[in-house]
Structure 1
C-alpha cells in the first residue's frame, strides 16, 4: 500500500446510506475494508459521525432538534450505540478498537495535545483502531471543532498521517452541483497553493441534510491537512472498496497532494514554536548522539536554564554554547532540573511518574547545521 498511516473520516450520509437510520451493512463494510488495509501493515484511525443519527433512531425522532442541549442529548444516546456496532464488527475480525472523544481544547492546550498524541501513538503502534468523534455531550460552542471534517484534519496533523480520506455522498469535488448541473465535472486534483475561488463557490453546502458539514467543510479540512504534509482524498463512501483504492494510490475522487513534506511541516512547527528563553545545555556525548539521530536523555543534560512547561520549544546548546537543535520538551523545567544527569530508568523513582525516557524525543527535535568556524584574522 502507498499509505502507511491512514485517517478515514466517515460522514453521516455514508453511515446511513442516505436514509434516517444507520445502515448496518455499510458500517460492517467499513470495518471489513479497514481490516484488509491493516493486513498490508497500515495503521488506521477512524473519525466517525453518526452519533446524533443513532440517537434519533433510538428515540424514533423524525427530525433532530435545533437547540444544542437536544443535540447533545441525542449524541449521548447514540454514541454508545454507534460504537457498539463498530466494536462488534471489529471483534468479529479479532481486532481491538478504542473509543476516543475529543474537544478542541484537547488539541489546543499544549499538555492535552501532547497527551492526545501520546495516546494515539500508543494505540496505532499497538495495532489498535482508534474510533474518534467529537465529545458532543460536553462540548460548548467555544470548544467545539464545528464538524468532524475539521476534527479529522487536526487528527491527521497530530499523528502525521500519510493520507486523510474524507468519505461523503458525492464522488468528489465538482465544478457545480451534479444533482442540478448536468455539465458539472469532477475535479480530479487540486494542487494549487491557494484553492481557486471558483472551487469554494462550487462546493456549496450540505446536500443530504443529515450531517453538520458539507463540501465546504471538506475543502477547509483538505486545505489544513495538505499544508501539514498530508495527502487528502475526497471520495464517495458508497463506491466499492473505496478505502482500499484510496490507500493504494489509485486516482479516485478529488485528490489534494501535500504542499510540503511531513519533515518540512515539522520543521516549520518547531521553528515557529514559542521559545520562552528555555535552554538545555548538554554534554559532548549527548551532542554526538543528537547528531546521529538520537533523542536527548536526561543523563546528557548539564544545565536547565529558564522556566517552561511541558511541550515548550527550547534551545539545546553544546558545551561551547553553540545551538545544536530546538525541540519540544517532554518535561517541564522544574522536573528536568530534578533529573539532570540521571539515567532514564531512574526518572519514575525520582519524580513519582514518567512521561517517557527522553527529555526531548528525536521526533520532536530539529537539528541545526553547525556554524562554520571563523578563520583567524577574518
Structure 2
C-alpha cells in the first residue's frame, strides 16, 4: 500500500471533492496472469467506485481488459499478436467484462451503461458531440458509464493505442473535475520502482518534474499501456485543467476517498472549451503548415490569426475545414488549427502579404478563433 502523504495538496483536495470523476483501470488490475477476469479484484474496484457514487459523485469508468478477459475462454495462453485473434478475444472478452460489471454494480443497486468508442468518435467533431450527449444523458439518469475502445472493430487502437489517453479525452469530453488512473504500480517513482532506493514522487507541479522518470519497466503483458502512456495522459489532462491521481488499483478506496495515495498531478493549464480541447488534442491532423519566426510569435505569443505571409511550406493533402498542425523552423508543433484553404491553393499564396493577393483570397489561412497554441 502507498504511504499517505502528510498534507493534502490543492490537486488532491480537488480530486477528493470532485463531483464528476473519471476512473481508468488497466487490464492487469482486473485479470489473472493467465488471462480471464479476476472476480475478487473486479469486485474490490466496484466497491470503491460505488462508495464514491453513493457519496454523491458521478463516476465514469474507463476499463481495459476486454482482450485479456477473452484469453481464457478461447484457450489462448497469451495476448495474441495478430489482429484477427485480438479482435476475436475482444469480442468474447467484452461480453465477459460487461456481464461482470453489471452483476458487481447491481450489488449496490447501480445500473451500468456500456460505451464503446473508436478513434473516430473523438477525432470527428460530430461524433465527439454525439458521445458528449450520450454521456450527459447516462449520468443524468443515474447510470455508471463503463467505457472501452471498441477493440472488436478497431485497428490502430489495438496495435498502438492505449486506454490512458482515451481516459484523458473522456475526462474532458464529460466535463470531469478529476481523473484517476489505476494500474499495477502505486505511483510515479524517480527511477524503476524495482531498484533499491527508488522514491515515490508524491506531487507533480509541472510536467518537467517527471521528465527524467524511467518509463522502461516491463508490464504484465496483458495490456498495451505503461508508465509512458500514463504520464502522457496525466500531462494531457492536467494541461487542460483537470487534476490527476495515479496509483495502484489496490489503493482504489484511498484514491476515491481522501485521495492521500499515489502521485498527484496539479493543473498546469486553463480549462479549455470542448471545441478547443477537441481541436488541440483529439482531432486528427490532415496536414502541416511550416511557419517563420514572425508567424510563430504572432500565433503563439499574441494569439493572432495565421496569414499566408508567415507560411514557409505546406505538407499534406487537406481541404478547407480540416485540422492542420503548425510547425516552427525547428519542426516543433506550436499550434493546431482549422485550415481556411485547400492544400492545393496554398503554394501560390505563401510568403505573400495580404495586399499582394486577389481580393477573394485576402483572408486568414487559420483564424485565431479556430486555433489552439501550445
TM-score range, shorter chain: 0.5 to 0.7
- The separation in 1 between residues aligned to 2:190 and 2:180, in whole angstroms, is 20
User: Is the Cα–Cα contact under 8 Å of residues 11 and 167 in structure 1 kept in the other structure?
Assistant: yes
Closer, same or farther: CA 83–136 of 1 in aligned 2, 3 Å: same
Q: Which position in structure 1 is the counterpart of 2:230?
A: 218
Helix, strand or coil at the partner of 2:72: helix
Q: Say yes or no: does 1:245 pair with 2:245.
A: no
Match of 1:153 among 168, 185, 204: 168
Q: Which position in structure 1 is the counterpart of 2:347?
A: none
Q: CA deviation at 1:205?
A: 4.4
User: Is the Cα–Cα contact under 8 Å of residues 203 and 216 in structure 1 kept in the other structure?
Assistant: yes
Using structure 2 for the length normalisation, give the TM-score.
0.67
Match of 2:240 among 200, 208, 228: 228
Helix, strand or coil at the partner of 2:189: coil
- The separation in 2 between residues aligned to 1:153 and 1:32, in whole angstroms, is 23
Q: Which position in structure 2 is the counterpart of 1:269?
A: 276
Helix, strand or coil at the partner of 1:222: helix
- The separation in 2 between residues aligned to 1:136 and 1:32, in whole angstroms, is 27
Q: Which position in structure 2 is the counterpart of 1:85?
A: 100
Closer, same or farther: CA 270–140 of 1 in aligned 2, 3 Å: closer
Closer, same or farther: CA 132–108 of 1 in aligned 2, 3 Å: same
Question: What is the 5 A alignment of 1:82-231?
Answer: 82-141=97-156, 146-179=161-194, 181-199=195-213, 202-231=214-243
Question: What is the 5 A alignment of 1:326-337?
Answer: none
Deviation per residue, 1:16-58 (Å, 9 max, x gap): 2555332101111111211111111100011111111111010
Question: Alpha carbon RMSD of aligned pairs, Å?
Answer: 2.6
Q: CA deviation at 1:238?
A: 1.5
Q: CA deviation at 1:207?
A: 2.0
Deviation per residue, 1:341-375 (Å, 9 max, x gap): xxxxxxxxxxxxxxxxxxxxxxxxx9xxxxxxxxx
Closer, same or farther: CA 12–209 of 1 in aligned 2, 3 Å: same
- The separation in 2 between residues aligned to 1:162 and 1:118, in whole angstroms, is 18
Q: Which position in structure 1 is the counterpart of 2:360?
A: none
- The separation in 2 between residues aligned to 1:115 and 1:167, in whole angstroms, is 27
User: Is the Cα–Cα contact under 8 Å of residues 160 and 230 in structure 1 kept in the other structure?
Assistant: no
User: Is the Cα–Cα contact under 8 Å of residues 234 and 244 in structure 2 kept in the other structure?
Assistant: yes
Structure 2 residue ranges without an equivalent (≥5): 1-15, 284-319, 322-368, 370-374
Helix, strand or coil at the partner of 1:73: helix
Q: Say yes or no: does 1:10 pair with 2:21.
A: no
- The separation in 1 between residues aligned to 2:40 and 2:278, in whole angstroms, is 47
User: Is the Cα–Cα contact under 8 Å of residues 13 and 19 in structure 1 kept in the other structure?
Assistant: no
User: Is the Cα–Cα contact under 8 Å of residues 206 and 213 in structure 1 kept in the other structure?
Assistant: no
Q: Which position in structure 1 is the counterpart of 2:8?
A: none
Q: CA deviation at 1:69?
A: 1.3
User: Is the Cα–Cα contact under 8 Å of residues 7 and 164 in structure 1 kept in the other structure?
Assistant: yes
Bigger-Rg structure (1/2) = 1
Q: CA deviation at 1:247?
A: 3.4
Q: Which position in structure 2 is the counterpart of 1:54?
A: 69
Q: CA deviation at 1:160?
A: 1.7
- The separation in 1 between residues aligned to 2:109 and 2:70, in whole angstroms, is 28
- The separation in 2 between residues aligned to 1:186 and 1:122, in whole angstroms, is 39
Using structure 1 for the length normalisation, give the TM-score.
0.66
Closer, same or farther: CA 261–29 of 1 in aligned 2, 3 Å: same
